[in-house]
Amino acid sequence: MDYNIHKALEVLEQTPSTLYTMLSNLSDEWVLSNEGENTWSVFDVLGHLIHGEKTDWIKRTNIILSNSEIKKFDSFDRFAQFEISKGKSLKNLLLEFSELRAKNLKKLKELQLTEEAFRLEGEHPELGVVTLKDLLATWVVHDLNHIAQISRIMAKQYKNEVGPWQKYLPILNK
C-alpha cells in the first residue's frame, strides 16, 4: 500500500483506544512483567510511546517543514521512559498517551500536508536523509510494532502454561 495520510490517520487515531481497551483494568502481573533480562514490560512500552509523542513525530515534522537550512533531528532517547514513567500508574500513562496523541494529530491535520510536502527531507542522526513521508509512515508502523510487542510480552507470560500447544503459537517463540 502506498502511503496515504488518511489511511495513516485510521491507525494513528485508533492506537490510544486500542491500548486502553487492551490494557485497562489488568493486574500488575500483566503490565509489569517482561520477556526476560534487558526487555521491556507493557508499562515500559507505553512510556516509550509517550516519549515519542513528546519528542519525535510532530517535532521532527516541524523540523522538516521549517525554513531552516539545517534540518537535523535530535537523537531519540529510546530509554527515556524508565525515568519519565516513574511514580505513574498504567492508567496515568494511558490517559497521558491519549491526550498527547489527540493533540499531535490535531497539529498534523492542521498542517494540511501536500504530496510536495511529503517529499521534503530532514536528517536523522543515524539513518541520514529521510523524507516527511518516511517519518509519517514510520509513525504508523511504530504504533503497530509496539502493539504487537505488547501482545507478545503478555502472551509470553503463559508460555509455560500452554503445554504442547506452544508449538502452534509462534508468538511465544519470537
pLDDT tens digits for range 14-45: 999 999 999 999 999 999 999 999 999 999 99
Exposed e or buried b for every residue in 38-75, given b needs 16+ CB within 10 A?
eebbbbbbbbbbbbbbebbbbebbebbeeeeeebebee
Q: Give the pLDDT band of residue 82 (cuts 50, 70, 90).
A: confident
- 52, 141 in Cβ contact below 8 A? no
Share of the chain above pLDDT 90, in %: 95
- 107, 58 in Cβ contact below 8 A? yes
Q: Which whole number is the average pLDDT over 118-138?
A: 97
- 136, 61 in Cβ contact below 8 A? yes
CA distances 55 to 28, 30, 35, 39, 104, Å, are 28, 27, 27, 22, 11
Angle between the N-to-C axes of helices 90-110 and 5-23, in degrees from 0 to 180, rounded to the nearest 10: 170
Q: Which whole number is the average pLDDT over 105-131?
A: 97
Q: Which whole number is the average pLDDT over 103-116?
A: 97
| Mean pLDDT, all residues of the chain | 96
C-alpha to C-alpha distance for 33 and 44, rounded to whole angstroms: 10
Residue 9 in 3-state DSSP? helix
Say what the pLDDT of residue 163 is. 96
Cell 492506537 locates to 15
> Is a pLDDT exceeding 90 seen at residue 59?
yes
CA distances 30 to 81, 155, 160, 174, Å, are 18, 9, 15, 18
C-alpha to C-alpha distance for 19 and 172, rounded to whole angstroms: 20
Q: Which whole number is the average pLDDT over 87-106?
A: 97
> Is a pLDDT exceeding 90 seen at residue 142?
yes
Q: Which domains does the chain have, with CATH numbers?
A: 5-26+38-173 (1.20.120.450)
Is 113 exposed, middle or buried, given 0-12, 13-18 or 19+ CB atoms closer than 10 A?
middle
Q: Which whole number is the average pLDDT over 89-116?
A: 97
Say what the pLDDT of residue 79 is. 86
Say what the pLDDT of residue 58 is. 98
> Is a pLDDT exceeding 90 seen at residue 7?
yes
> Is a pLDDT exceeding 90 seen at residue 174?
no
Say what the pLDDT of residue 168 is. 96
| Model pTM score | 0.95
